[in-house]
Amino acid sequence: MPAKKVDYDADNVAWVGITDKDLQRWQLAYPDVDLQGELRCAANWADANPARCGKMRNWKRFLVNWLKNSGKLYHVNRCVKRETQGNTGTARQDAAQTRRNTKTDKEYPEPERPVPRI
């Protein structure tokens, strides 16, 4: 029996064809991700970008990639929250700033200061 096709219902801004088995598999693969919240975010993104979604053939692949990327973002954000006292913006902005700082530190190391003579 072939797997049921996952599709996007634009009228209801919802996913159709996601089985309990899919949800269990995704929860095991991405334990740190709020699965229901991310599925709602992905549906809202699809609703806001109809031109980019018109030719979409494999929504299941889209959702797996969405969950995979949100899991990466979760780990980056969790590290950012540990490193900073207070967030300067959204979680995405903080994660981007951390990546920029890390890159800058690698490219331009702190110059060694001469030892003062006494």
Predicted TM-score (pTM) of the model is 0.60
Q: Which domain holds residue 54?
A: 8-103
pLDDT tens string 10-38:
899 999 999 999 999 999 998 888 899 99
Look at residues 44, 23, 43, 38 and name the one whose alpha carbon lies nearest to residue 70.
Answer: 38
Give me the mean pLDDT over the 58-62 stretch: 93
- Please check whether residue 113 lies inside any domain of the structure: no
- Please check whether residue 62 lies inside any domain of the structure: yes
- Please check whether residue 90 lies inside any domain of the structure: yes
Q: How many CA atoms lie within 13 A of 29 on its CB side?
A: 15
| Signed CA dihedral, 66, 68, 69, 75: sign only | positive
Predicted pLDDT of residue 76? 52
Give me the mean pLDDT over the 62-79 stretch: 74
Number of domains in the chain: 1
